[in-house]
Structure 1
Amino acid sequence: MLIAGTGPAGSVLAAQLAEFPDISTLVVERREAALEMGHADGVACRTVEMFNGFGLAERLMREAYWVNETTFWGPAESGGIARTGRIQDVAEGLSEYPHVIVNQARMQDLLLEHMANSPSRLIPDYGLEIIDVVVAETGEYPVTATLRRTGEDPGNEITVQAKYAVGCEGARSNVRRSLGITMSGDARNHAWGVMDMLAVTDFPDIRLKSAIQSTSGGSILLIPREGGYLVRLYVDLGDVDPGDREARGRFTADSIIEAAQKILHPYTLDVKEIAWWSVYEVGQRIAERFDDVLPQDRGSRTPRVFIAGDACHTHSAKAGQGMNVSMQDGFNLGWKLAAVLQDRSPWSLLDTYSEERQVIAQELIDFDFKWSTAMAAKPKDPVNPEAGGMDAAERQAIFTQGGRFTAGFATDYSPSMITGNDTHEHLAAGFPVGERFHSSPVVRLADAKALQLGHQARADGRWHIYAFADAARPDATNSRLAAFCTYLGQSSSSPVRVFTPDGADDDAVFDVRAILQQGHRELEPGDLPEFLLPRKAPLGMVDYEKAFTVDPANDIFAARGINREQGAIVVVRPDQYVAHVLPLDAHEELEDFFAGIMTVPVRARAMAPLA
């Protein structure tokens, strides 16, 4: 397995594959060392949820600036600017995690550390870049990549052969170029300056995320940074001549500061030190495909080379989605590659990467165009409203409407081989099929510990089956949960029995958890079905962490709309998205679903039915 680039997409992808020491992974990075200061910084709630899968969420939040509220400023009648609105940045109940600000380099450091401490002890090879990739039609290792040490003369190439390769090396991706994949889209011919600074100001919202529109028409998006002093400004520098290639280069740090001071008037801005600055033009571009398979060949051959992150979609920075969506690209692809490389799933699983992520990238492009247009809009003239423009209230409405997108929760995967239909979604209305699994508080039965249910899942490639119990006690003869557990543990057609390798723990492939309606003081571990008290190799120790009860202060059955009489099965993909909702007795439907996703282990084929 070859990964090019340790940016947001590459680092998440590598962190997942590092969990599997039997997969030989090579990660190359054209820089000579790990990134010291990145330019991205906005971390969506969904990304924090993903980091929890790696056990990194708490560390991330300790270091981060939390975006609690967003304020909106517009032209004041008396001149200058005035606050026009103030909202909670993340809507109530959207996530148990906040929207935070952390430097991209630190995000990647956490993932690199996770990789180094993983079973694979995976460390990138720095100062090495991919020059070219060629895919053969046959062979066990059909991908031939030509690599070169950074700065060395042509001719000093290294050849690597791999089963699969992924280009995560940014907008100028050599992997994408090698595949002949084109990018479509347009520049908007509008310049923005971005600057991280230490400044003294009397602007009252300097430690709040703020969208500011001035009387003159200029705009600022203000983002406080971690540490308590640093602040980032995205400053509107106006339209640029598309025919003037040197226009962007004529802007200076002083001109950005001058523009910011004019927009903030009558408030003052005294810049003491600049940590970093740049000027960019707004534009949105997307790749025609995200892997090496041509449309006419889809389904007839295996995708072998993929692109992710900025290699396949670029846009403005103000929506704060570039790093986040790139990381979700890597999170989507990583578990799929691991499943195919370990022969747990058929190669057709890899088609779902481009199928799913290209749609999401296009949605990002569309949202970014809408948001960047709103940020650059001139104030509406109250005397002549037909002349166009946008007032602060309209801008605030666009921000509020896009709240689910900026938080990372707009993703809704369509039905496919890994995402079922919504026939039974009414049994668990709070877990829509195709959307991310929304955690909720529970109490672990064995030790009365209050926990978040979704936080117990790890980014280890396993599928998660949450069995929400019916109203009966688990030790009652009419318990649907007990019957489901008996089926999972004893039936020869159960996915757990069919797809778990001989000699492996019962939860090696499927992590099954039960959520009971009774309180933790009403039940004992001995009341549970045997399947929920699995024995673990090599000593046969009992795992007491499979059963949970309701939290009296926040009943998960009520909070997530679980049918109390029937209960429900909620199947969750390794990347934390709901794949299916089924009744507890829908055994055949569960079997049919996984039959299209997984392959029978070689050692288990003799005993497992193949029909």
Structure 2
Amino acid sequence: MDVLIVGAGPTGLALGIDLARRGVDALVVERAQGLFPGSRGKGIQPRTQEVFEDLGVLDAIRAAGSPYPTRMIWKDGERVGEEPMFEAVAAEEGAPYTEPWMVPQWRTQEILYARLVELGGTVAFGREVTGLEQDAEGVSARFADGTTVRARYVVAADGGRSAVRRAVGVGMTGETVDPSPFLVADVRVKGLDREYWHAFPGADGTGVALCPLAGTDDFQLAGKLPEGTGPDLTLDGIRTLVAAYTHLGADDVTELRWASDFRPRAALADRFRVGRVFLAGDAAHVHSPAGGQGLNTSVQDAYNLGWKLGAVLRDGAPQALLDTYEEERRANAAAMLGLSTGVHRGEIRRGKATVQLGLGYPDSSLTEETRTDPAGVRAGDRAPDGTVDGVRLFDAFRGPHWTLLGAPAHVAGVHALPAAPASYGPGVFLVRPDGYVGWAGGSAEGLGTYLARVGVR
């Protein structure tokens, strides 16, 4: 086996999809008996929508969700005002998706799982990893039932309490974002319309909110409770909480489908790689849910790692390419942790800062900008959408290949278009398989050296 992916959350499933389409022999294992049942990570940011378009799941994601509803503020049983959840970001040709799309996490995972199976991938449920041993050739993973599996690489996508992270001795450095206890639950209620995200703030900074989840009959209940209290996650406990903070009666909560409690924390793994073991998603970084960055940063970990594993395992790229995963993603995760914490504390507005369209890798060792005075898109930037000779760029980018804009290519694995859109500015641009500009120049001079360095022949 080439790759063992531990954890069938969004990170593990997205990575499984990317490896499957590259012909990499990968297995996803999950300690639970099925997919995660809750709505927790419900915000799909625009950059992740672009990733999902490439992975072939965006149509299903869009059909399963909706834009975020406006927030309705209540006080003493009366509606006292409304406000948008996000500052508007104008759509334009380079960025066709500019608003977060709300999909319950359980539904996102169902869609990813179906795509993985469609591509021939597999998830083995009820398989708990309890230990690892690695050598120069691969990794042996031990399971709770006493069996072992051998793989060339292992990816820990098994969440904030990652057993794989502990097994390889990687610590996490972080801080408590808020000392108050929080809870999140999926409930069914009577007496609220589904046009708004209903917020019921308390006078002491606590409160609850009920957000309708598109495509379901459920609301997601989020609550911030007084310090020192312990959330009661039973149906009776949820009913008591709703009756205490809203004008609804306890009996208006008709069903509790899932519930969890947490204390918001920001933490970053000290390393994202130990030998042949990689950390991704919550195993590598834990966010406050404010701002909707956690799931999205996690999916993009998978998107970054997938093409690099494929290049090394299938295309003969140098092993050093895998070193750039930690280089690029740990810095990105650190920035996103700061953003999430800023949103939680009210220091940063949701909007342009949180849609993740401005993220890139300008300082990466994989980034080469050879122009002396570049204008427009630069190496390291996300490659915007656009049109060249009637071809949409995101259609040209779709798939596991590199794309060259502005010069002919005669290299296997590189698709070429004769020009870049005017919005890019003058130059020749080589777009990585994950949609970032890896190399840019005034002409194609020097391109061959770069391609050889990253293993494209």
**TM-score in terms of structure 1 length:** 0.67
Change (3 A) 1:276 1:568: same
Cα deviation, residue 589, structure 1: 2.8
Q: Deviations over 1:522-569 (max 9, x none)?
A: xxxxxxxxxxxxxxxxxxxxxxxxxxxxxxxxxx52xx2x44xxx422
Cα deviation, residue 352, structure 1: 0.9
Q: Deviations over 1:352-378 (max 9, x none)?
A: 11111111221222122222223xxxx
Cα deviation, residue 174, structure 1: 1.9
Alignment of 1:197-596 (within 5 A): 197-201=187-191, 206-209=194-197, 213-227=201-215, 229-240=217-228, 247-248=229-230, 250=232, 253-260=235-242, 263-264=245-246, 270-292=252-274, 303-374=275-346, 398-399=348-349, 402-421=350-369, 423=371, 426-427=374-375, 429=376, 431-441=377-387, 444=390, 452-460=392-400, 462-467=401-406, 484-485=407-408, 488-489=409-410, 496=411, 500=412, 509-515=413-419, 556-557=421-422, 560=423, 562-563=424-425, 567-583=426-442, 586-596=443-453
* Matched residue SS, 2:418: strand
Cα deviation, residue 239, structure 1: 1.8
Change (3 A) 1:59 1:313: same
**For the Cα contact (< 8 Å) 1:222–1:231, is it kept in 2?**
yes
Q: Hey, what does 1:100 align to over in structure 2?
A: 101
Partners of 1:160 and 1:193 in 2: CA distance? 37
Partner amino acid, structure 2, of 1:571? L
**For the Cα contact (< 8 Å) 1:189–1:239, is it kept in 2?**
yes
Q: Deviations over 1:236-265 (max 9, x none)?
A: 21223xxxxxx4355655555555555556
Give the number of aligned pairs: 451
Partner amino acid, structure 2, of 1:234? A
Q: Hey, what does 1:480 align to over in structure 2?
A: none
Cα deviation, residue 305, structure 1: 0.8
Change (3 A) 1:117 1:222: same
Partners of 1:212 and 1:420 in 2: CA distance? 51
Higher RCO (C-alpha 8 Å, min separation 6): 2
Partner amino acid, structure 2, of 1:357? R
Q: Hey, what does 1:476 align to over in structure 2?
A: none
Change (3 A) 1:252 1:373: farther
* Matched residue SS, 1:574: coil
Cα deviation, residue 132, structure 1: 1.1
Q: Hey, what does 1:129 align to over in structure 2?
A: 128
Change (3 A) 1:578 1:125: same
Partner amino acid, structure 1, of 2:418? A
Partners of 1:5 and 1:312 in 2: CA distance? 13
Cα deviation, residue 334, structure 1: 0.7
Change (3 A) 1:217 1:25: closer
Partners of 2:200 and 2:450 in 1: CA distance? 50
Partner amino acid, structure 1, of 2:11? A
Partners of 1:158 and 1:267 in 2: CA distance? 51
Q: Deviations over 1:79-134 (max 9, x none)?
A: 9662264476541127322421222232222222222222xx22122222222112
Cα deviation, residue 51, structure 1: 0.9
Partners of 1:464 and 1:341 in 2: CA distance? 20
Partners of 1:87 and 1:434 in 2: CA distance? 30
Cα deviation, residue 349, structure 1: 0.7
Pick the structure with greater CA Rg: 1
2:18 pairs with 16, 19, 28, which one? 16
Cα deviation, residue 185, structure 1: 1.7
Partners of 1:71 and 1:350 in 2: CA distance? 43
Change (3 A) 1:249 1:212: closer
1:597 pairs with 450, 454, 457, which one? 454
Change (3 A) 1:81 1:114: closer
Change (3 A) 1:133 1:415: same
**For the Cα contact (< 8 Å) 1:2–1:25, is it kept in 2?**
yes
Change (3 A) 1:186 1:464: same
**TM-score in terms of structure 2 length:** 0.87
Change (3 A) 1:80 1:218: farther
Cα deviation, residue 351, structure 1: 0.8
Cα deviation, residue 216, structure 1: 4.3
Q: Which runs of 4+ in 1 moved over 3 A?
A: 33-39, 69-75, 78-81, 84-90, 200-203, 208-216, 219-223, 249-270, 421-427
Partner amino acid, structure 2, of 1:592? T
RMSD of the alignment, in Å?
Answer: 3.1
Verify: 1:83 aligned to 2:75, yes or no: no
Partner amino acid, structure 2, of 1:570? F
Instruction: Flag structure 2 segments of 5+ consecutive residues without an equivalent.
Output: none
Partners of 2:251 and 2:206 in 1: CA distance? 16
Instruction: Flag structure 1 segments of 5+ consecutive residues without an equivalent.
Output: 150-156, 241-246, 293-302, 375-394, 445-450, 468-483, 490-495, 501-508, 517-555, 601-611
Change (3 A) 1:238 1:414: farther
**For the Cα contact (< 8 Å) 1:344–1:598, is it kept in 2?**
yes
Q: Deviations over 1:144-164 (max 9, x none)?
A: 222233xxxxxxx22322221
Partner amino acid, structure 1, of 2:132? V
Q: Hey, what does 2:183 align to over in structure 1?
A: 193
Cα deviation, residue 279, structure 1: 2.3
Q: Deviations over 1:32-59 (max 9, x none)?
A: 3344555322211111111111222112
Partner amino acid, structure 2, of 1:576? G
Partner amino acid, structure 2, of 1:454? F
Cα deviation, residue 443, structure 1: 5.8
Q: Hey, what does 1:148 align to over in structure 2?
A: 144
Greater shift in the superposed pair: 361-370 or 433-442: 433-442
Change (3 A) 1:87 1:514: farther
**For the Cα contact (< 8 Å) 1:221–1:318, is it kept in 2?**
no
* Matched residue SS, 1:361: helix
Change (3 A) 1:592 1:87: same
